[in-house]
Structure 1
């Protein structure tokens, strides 16, 4: 079998869904399992519902209506008959959502998050499945929560591989077109769980692993994986081939290539992953597989904006030893600082972090009791894989370089934009 994953951008409106149908006509749909995300920005819209629910806001009903209105417009654009079965099916799902909001007693935010946000994928796949049948493309709709079983670590659930393997082997009919949801699973009590960051890609990898699939294809609005983000770098080029190891390296440094947890099950069975364009589906795209690290060989550029560079030194000029570093990392973990770069000397220690949750002010007051704390806000971290002096100089040009760190294959530069 082949596993195809279509993200929210590919099914954001009726034209997008029609295009997915057309892609399958061009590339084939027998022995295919489709993993589909929530439509467009539905997950964000459901997060608004969740916020209103916990805030006990008067706008809770309005936030649900926004999600309903968005999907109803897509339904009306896809189906000519207003009495088509899909309207009743989607209305039933929204009724289930509203019932949950009325009856839930759990104060656990992460639990409630998973129960509510999951409606995005369930509704999306229900619409796509009905539309394909409407167009004569018969398919099997699968509730992924009956197959992928997890622990109850809501919002970042761990997969029970043994049970999931058995369920998928029984539940997926080969020779058919199968349609299921990304991002979701369920715990041993049947409550919905979600798989965390890049969960839909991970879902595709789980199915591929359990089905011994021929390949996984992630369909995007770009021709494949580029060596740089074209928003920040000119003359980005398409990478034809990336090895599993190189893709994991790039993801570690912050590239939005493929999340490592997606690659790991594929690597174990050497199942190739393709990143292709749903706009031009017959183009070859990028292959992530066993083989050459990069083809063509080129520098790869990753940038993280809005970072925070923290430098610590001992108040009495004593060495910063292992016990100090251990304490610092415990605090960074406690205050949810994502560390991207570390540099230390005998009496100083610097980290470049992403203060995603706005905890630095509190962390700084704790650190200042034992260390002299200096910091630079809103810095940029550039990582260059397979760097050359030319590529490094091009990145640093016009910027104040605060930290430079070099290993055999990788250069990292923390910069502050210089005033014009």
Structure 2
């Protein structure tokens, strides 16, 4: 089997959905499983709904209306008004309304997962219906009946044994299958999610469980570039990346490949292709066992809006194992992802993601035990296979607050000018 994954940009409007159909017709549809994300920026739109609902804002109704109209405008360009897909979408929107009316839980992460899933459910219903309309037979299924996880809402861990068993015994491999990325379910059938950008991971899960011949992630770029073209004007296509190198890049925050996607593929040596849905005839990038990097050039990874924290003991004692292990436990408890570590005798510095907005609570918890200095809104630049020229090119962008260099990688925390 082949696994294809189409992200939000590839299904953001009617023309792009038609293009997905063209890609499938060109590539062939037999023994293919297609994982699809929410349309366009709909994940952000659903997050707005979640926040309005959770905070009891009067903006909830208009934000729901925006989502409904967005999808129905796309449907209006693809279907006749009496097409059965309208009923399917109405049922999904009704389920969303039922949850908003009946939910009594105050747990934000739980509420988040029960609402956010409708982005993927809506997009896949619409794409599946359009493919059927133009004669591409396909089987739509709810991924929550196949991928099973624990109950760690918003960052659930896969129950591999159960997921493998279900996929092996339930999935019809001969058909073109259409399903959702990012979402799953726990043992009580509540929706869970695999972390932001988790649709790539969903593709990796199915590839592993099905012993797929390949995974292809269809993007609006030509493949994996050596730098983000939104940040750097001069970029180069990487034609080949080894699993090891790709995992390193993902660890440091390269956005084209989700960090968790690569491990299951590497275990079974399943190649991953990153190709352009705009120029689908191009080969793109291959991630597989073999040559580390082709061409072998410096690669730049940027993580914006980080928090740089410097922690020291109030009595100026050494920052040693017991202090550091305690701080790491707190970072874990508050879901603060560490992207850089540096320590000296009396201070310990970390650069973190604050994606769950829990840094302030972390600070309040630790400030009576440690002296904590921090700076929000900094950027973390990582350069793989750096040279002196590349380091200079980054430090010219602002004030370097912290620099760390090892054999293969340079990391610079920068406050922009």
Shorter-chain TM-score category?
over 0.9
Corresponding residue of 2:236 = 237
Question: What TM-score, normalized by structure 2, do the two folds share?
Answer: 0.93
Task: Identify if the C-alpha distance between structure 1 residues 189 and 316 changes in structure 2 by more than 3 Å, giving closer, same or farther.
Answer: closer
Cα distance change of structure 1 residues 98 and 267 upon mapping to structure 2, 3 Å threshold? same
Of structures 1 and 2, the larger Rg is shown by 1
Change (3 A) 1:34 1:373: closer
Return the alpha-carbon distance in structure 1 between the equivalents of residues 377 and 61 of structure 2.
Answer: 38
1:13-24 equivalent positions in 2, closer than 5 A: 13-24=13-24
Shift of 1:7: 0.8
- Please state if 1:155 is matched with 2:154: yes
1:130-175 deviation per Cα after TM superposition (whole angstroms, max 9, x unaligned):
1111101111111212212222222222222222222212332223
Name 1:74's counterpart in structure 2. 74
Structure 1: any 5+ residue segments left out of the alignment?
none
Per-residue displacement from partner, 1:320-358 (whole Å, max 9, x unpaired)? Answer: 222222233334334443322222222332222334455
Give the 3-state SS of the residue equivalent to 2:260 in structure 1: helix
Structure 2: distance between partners of 1:370 and 1:55: 32
Pairing of 1:371-382 with structure 2 (within 5 A): 371-382=370-381
- TM-score for the superposition, normalised by structure 1: 0.92
Cα distance between partner residues in 2 of 1:184 and 1:68 = 20
- Report deviation, 1:291: 0.9
1:408 to 2:410 alignment:
no
Partner residue, 1:205: 204
Aligned pairs, number: 417
2: CA distance, partners of 1:172 / 1:336 = 35
Compared CA separation, residues 370 and 154, structure 1 to 2 (3 A): closer
Q: Which moved more, 1:85-94 or 1:169-178?
A: 169-178
For structure 1, which segment, 99-108 or 354-363, has the greater mean C-alpha deviation from structure 2 after superposition? 354-363
| 3-state SS of 1:247 partner | helix
Structure 1 ranges of 4+ moved more than 6 A: none
Is 1:5 matched with 2:1? no
Partner of 2:193: 194
Contact 1:27-1:281 within 8 A present in 2 as well: no
> Which has the higher mean CA deviation after the structures are superposed, 45-54 or 329-338?
329-338
Q: Is the 8 A contact 2:198 2:258 kept in 1?
A: no
In 2: Cα distance, 1:143 partner to 1:357 partner: 27
Q: In terms of mean alpha carbon deviation, does 36-45 or 215-224 score higher? A: 36-45
Over residues 55-97 of structure 1, what are the superposed CA-to-partner deviations in whole Å (9 max), with x where a residue is unaligned? 3344433332221111111111001x21111111211221222
Q: Which moved more, 1:361-370 or 1:153-162?
A: 361-370
Q: CA RMSD in A?
A: 2.1
- What is the aligned partner in structure 2 of residue 137 from structure 1? 136
